[in-house]
Amino acid sequence: LAWVSHVKGLVQGVNGQSVNLTIGGVRSYSEDKLYRGQTAMKFKIFVGWKVKVCSNLCLTCDGFSGTIECLTEADITQKASELFSSFNPHKEETLGLLENLRNTEISEELFCKIIGRLRLYQFLPVSEQRNLPSLNIGDQAVNAMVKGYVSNPNFGKKEGEEITCWNLLQYANEAVKSAYIDRWLERNQNCTDFALGIQKALNGNDTEGYNWYLS
């Protein structure tokens, strides 16, 4: 069960695309213990800017709550209100994070390194994985990213041009679109975080270990 609402009075633009302030949520039935009497129900709610780009969705991570546990309707109201009241829709850096992705180029060599590291990460010992930032996708999704690089009509590589971190984000978003609805929010946010992390690493501002994907 999922729901989403757009705040029509708050619309801006980023990289030539329309941006809506969006609130929504998902009931996480897969995480509920349905046969153990009255237990806390789990919901995932979010507030953020939603960018529609060729049917992809990019959610900035400002305010996404992850999973909240509630026993009553009052619990849901309280926790949702706390999230929504802490979000500033006029905060310029919120949109700037997405818009600036287009200013950082990624060469074909670097893109290949990132793809190779994404594959390698999946087979590292858990102890090593914990020390690295991750893009939570499998081989099939990594293959979809490569396909996007080669043949996506909107964001694929063009002759004589480099792709950017914005393109990388679109490849990742496209790759996770088939995720179950109660996992999609987390994966979409993860894609945004990953693209922003790669950008920081390329610009020499990495503090979270994203340089590993470029080495």
Residue 39 and residue 9 in one domain: yes
Residue 205 and residue 142 in one domain: yes
Residue 106 and residue 194 in one domain: yes
Residue 93 and residue 108 in one domain: no
pTM of the model: 0.75
The pLDDT profile of the chain, 215 residues, written as one tens digit per residue, is 677 787 777 777 766 677 777 787 777 666 666 556 667 777 777 777 766 555 565 655 555 666 777 888 888 888 888 877 777 665 556 667 778 899 999 999 999 999 999 999 999 999 999 999 999 888 999 999 999 999 998 889 999 999 999 999 999 988 887 655 556 667 878 898 999 999 999 999 999 999 999 99
Single residue among 79, 97, 115 that ends a domain in this structure? 97
CA angle 28, 143, 14 (to 5 degrees): 70
Residue 52 and residue 125 in one domain: no
Residue 74 and residue 121 in one domain: no
For 56, the domain range is: 2-97
Residue with tokens 């694929």: 156
Single residue among 38, 64, 97 that ends a domain in this structure? 97
DSSP string, 84-151: HHT--TT-HHHHHHHHGGGGSEE-HHHHHHHHHHHHHHTTS-HHHHTTS------HHHHHHHHHHHHH
Q: How far apart are CA 135 and CA 187, in angstroms?
A: 8
Q: Considering its fold, how many domains does the chain have in total?
A: 2
Single residue among 68, 97, 126 that ends a domain in this structure? 97
Residue 51 and residue 103 in one domain: no
Residue 108 and residue 56 in one domain: no
Residue 173 and residue 92 in one domain: no
Residue 16 and residue 76 in one domain: yes
- Phi and psi, residue 138, nearest 5°: -100, -175
Residue 42 and residue 86 in one domain: yes
